[in-house]
Amino acid sequence: MTKENYIDCGLFLMKHMETYKGGDPNKWIVGLEPEFADSDDKQIQLNELRKKYVTKILTSDLSIIKPSLNRKLASYDKLSDAEKENLNTEEHLQRMERIISLFY
């Protein structure tokens, strides 16, 4: 299915595992955009899958960081709308992107 994208193979694997129900592989509907589809649509879909899978992994009962994450979410819920909005500033988002990039 993918000949050009070697980075997102884990996402493709997880999506295939999620959608495979047995039966005829020719009738298998994975639900992924074609590899050479409009790059914006493909990127949006991949980002949504990243969010979906990382949320499931981090909030799993097997996650060792789940208690810490729950505490941080509880703290976030206590913030005012203005404080939450400040967390969405471009500077904060760039800082988060730098942190995330450490894992790639």
Region 29-48: mean pLDDT is 82
Other CB atoms within 10 A of residue 84 CB: 11
Using CA atoms, how far apart are residues 1 and 102, in angstroms rounded to an integer?
28
Region 72-101: mean pLDDT is 84
Q: Which two tokens stand for residue 65?
A: 């960081």
Please give the residue that has the higher pLDDT: either 63 or 1: 63
Q: pLDDT-derived band of residue 80, with 50, 70 and 90 as boundaries?
A: very high
What three-state secondary structure class fits 6?
Answer: coil
Query: In the predicted model, is pLDDT for residue 1 greater than 60?
Result: no
pLDDT at position 49 is 92
